[in-house]
Amino acid sequence: MSDKTTHFGYQTVNSEEKAGKVAEVFHSVASSYDLMNDLMSAGIHRLWKRVTIEMSGVRRGHKVLDIAGGTGDLAAKFSRIVGSDGLVVLADINDSMLKVGRDRLLDRGIANNIQFAQANAQYLPFPDNSFDVITIAFGLRNVTDKEMALRSMYRVLKPGGKLLVLEFSKPPSTVLSKIYDGYSFNILPKLGKLFASDADSYQYLAESIRMHPDQETLMGMVEEAGFSNCDYHNMTGGIVALHRGVKA
């Protein structure tokens, strides 16, 4: 067993154990994931994702990789943009989430240019220089080795390709930060218990957000992975940030 440790929420665990523990969380919440996203964010997550799509620059004919794509809401929109000449790969490490996403997209009849891949972001199973755009929305904080994952994303992007990381972040305002903490640790687990019969998973999700790097730290990590023209845009007072980088 490795002697390396990492964070699982506020717990310190062996690095080799984290992926399994995260998998248990998402197996538990997969069937209620979309409902809980709407409840947790009052539907604002749809706006955050719309901004991500607009800032991605995705065009007809592009190849897009949506990592931690879960239930497929980003993939569905990218599918319409890239058209029959393009391709969207919805990738998720968790087979329960991937199944929910695949079934949902097939039911909606929009999976003709979408492929599905169960994949670990640290070891993306795609050739070098494969994709025009890579997105990862609310998934990077659950990755055990974020630096390795960012390097893996860099490798499979085409030169000139763009990475977009949408993730919960740190509000600069101390007032907003206190309100957000109160909501995350007092309300969120109760919503999880009420609507998903699972308070513990949503306690973990709140903790994982707090342990995620802040905006400047994450931008430095994206740059360290090789990306250029890196920036980030705060949304909803910095509760969420959209990071961007380009493969030169």
- Domains in the chain, ordered, with CATH? 44-169+213-246 (3.40.50.150)
71 annotated to a ligand binding site: yes
Q: What is the pLDDT of residue 13?
A: 66
Distances (CA, A) of 110 to 68, 88, 93, 230: 19, 11, 22, 32
State mean pLDDT over 142-148. Answer: 94
Which residues in 75-88 are b (16+ Cβ under 10 Å) and which e? bbbbbebbeeebbb
94 annotated to a ligand binding site: no
129 annotated to a ligand binding site: no
92 annotated to a ligand binding site: yes
Q: pLDDT by residue (tens digit) across 45-85?
A: 999 999 999 999 999 999 999 999 988 999 999 999 999 99
User: Which residues are CB-neighbours of 106 under 8 A, at least 6 positions away?
Assistant: none
Q: pLDDT by residue (tens digit) across 209-239?
A: 888 999 999 999 999 999 999 999 999 999 9
Q: What is the pLDDT of residue 9?
A: 66
- Label residue 18 by pLDDT band (50, 70, 90): confident
Full-model pTM: 0.86
State mean pLDDT over 160-186. Answer: 91
Q: What is the pLDDT of residue 147?
A: 97
